[in-house]
Structure 1
Amino acid sequence: DGHIISGRQYFGNVADPDSPASMKFPDGQKFGANGHLYVTVFGQGDVTVLGPDGQVTQRIKTEGKMPTNCVFGPPGSHRLYVTEDEFGTIEVFDVGTDGLPLYM
């Protein structure tokens, strides 16, 4: 919602209030071409999707509780690849959008 906390602008909160209060924190993140932010939440076992307004729009559950990073697949694939540390796997999800192009 963009309010200020300790001199910093707050965008969104990925912590699931219905998830047990264990060690969980945001880790990897990527923007989709749809303007949504896809955030792996280590310890929570999901990729939390934030809309342009910072509100949670979706939680994509992973097999394990330790997703660490994510990357979008090739243009047109609409896939998000997620590294998952608990089982040492790379999971793939159809998210209905491509990643936001990166410029250098």
Structure 2
Amino acid sequence: MSVPNRAALAEEYAKEVPVDELMRRFGVHRTTVHRLAAQAGVTVRRRGLDEPGRREAARLYEQGRTLEEVATELGVGDETVRSAVVACGGKIRSRGRRSSV
């Protein structure tokens, strides 16, 4: 990414433009948005899940959705969902095909 685009991304992030919008606009991953903002000296904001959100994430995952699907629905990263599932006593399924049960 060019230096001017990095600066523009950091400036927009500092103005609290949603990360999902920045991801689409600049064609980068969520972690890249956070990394570039931090490199530019902008305080990085992280959206986590409160207790009801963690329970909802665990419920959706237990219903058979993938970490990525739950993360997309709740607007957080898949690692946030993984942490929520484990915190609620759930177990992370191994990667691969879903069972057709």
Structure with the larger strand share: 1
Q: Same fold (TM over 0.5)?
A: no
Give TM class, smaller chain: under 0.3
Structure with the larger helix share: 2
